[in-house]
Chains A and B, each alone.
Chain A
């Protein structure tokens, strides 16, 4: 069965430090992969997506993600976080018409 795992419920990083949020998926075919961000009181906003081609994809707000088929992973990275990046981040895989969602990782920024 298709599934998405985000192993970290919370991550705390200092402002200016680098960030990596982990995402592992289980899917039989070539996956369509997404990262979304949810700020408090807001809906989910698409950060980036992977369909095919270059395995390193660039998104908005300085985020990037790398698809690694051998590891079934699609980790999200940012070289230097800002306080405004504090939010919850969701990884998702597209199957048929719907998205299978991870449980989310809450990012906390230390000043």
Chain B
């Protein structure tokens, strides 16, 4: 079975540019999570979708960040304009239900470098 698929795996771009990260969750999962991981702050939850609806976006750092889930099999995280402090690894995860007892399944992440 295919796991969570993220693209691109690596992205290097100059500050001010728009960045779009993509995620395909596991088929049948109805919860999707976007995380950011840095050395300084560890793993941070950015936004949580349930049944394609954003439920909690309190972790989205600024208005420069936006996320969408137009259907059950696709989500995007966009940064516009990007800044060097956005450099991090961004993970997408999905789970079967939005319950605390359901494990989350992670993609391999997108390593983002903003120059």
Contact = CB atoms under 8 A, between A and B. Distances in A.
Contacts of A103: 42
A34 B33 CA distance: 17
B103 A98 contact: no
Interface in A1-49: 32, 34, 36, 41-46, 49
A42 B106 CA distance: 9
Interface centre among A45, A49, A99 (most CB of B within 10 A): A99
B40 to A, nearest CB: 11
A70 interface: no
A89 interface: no
B43 A101 contact: yes
Contact of B103 (A49, A96, A97): A49
A67 interface: no
Q: Secondary structure at chain A's binding surface: helix, strand, loop or mixed?
A: strand
B4 A43 contact: yes
Contacts of B109: 42-43
A104 B42 contact: yes
A99 B101 CA distance: 9
A103 B44 CA distance: 10
A107 B11 CA distance: 28
A65 B107 CA distance: 24
A104 to B, nearest CB: 7
A97 B106 contact: no
Nearest to A97: B98
Contacts of B106: 36, 43-45
Interface of A: 32, 34, 36, 41-46, 49, 51, 90, 94-99, 101, 103-104
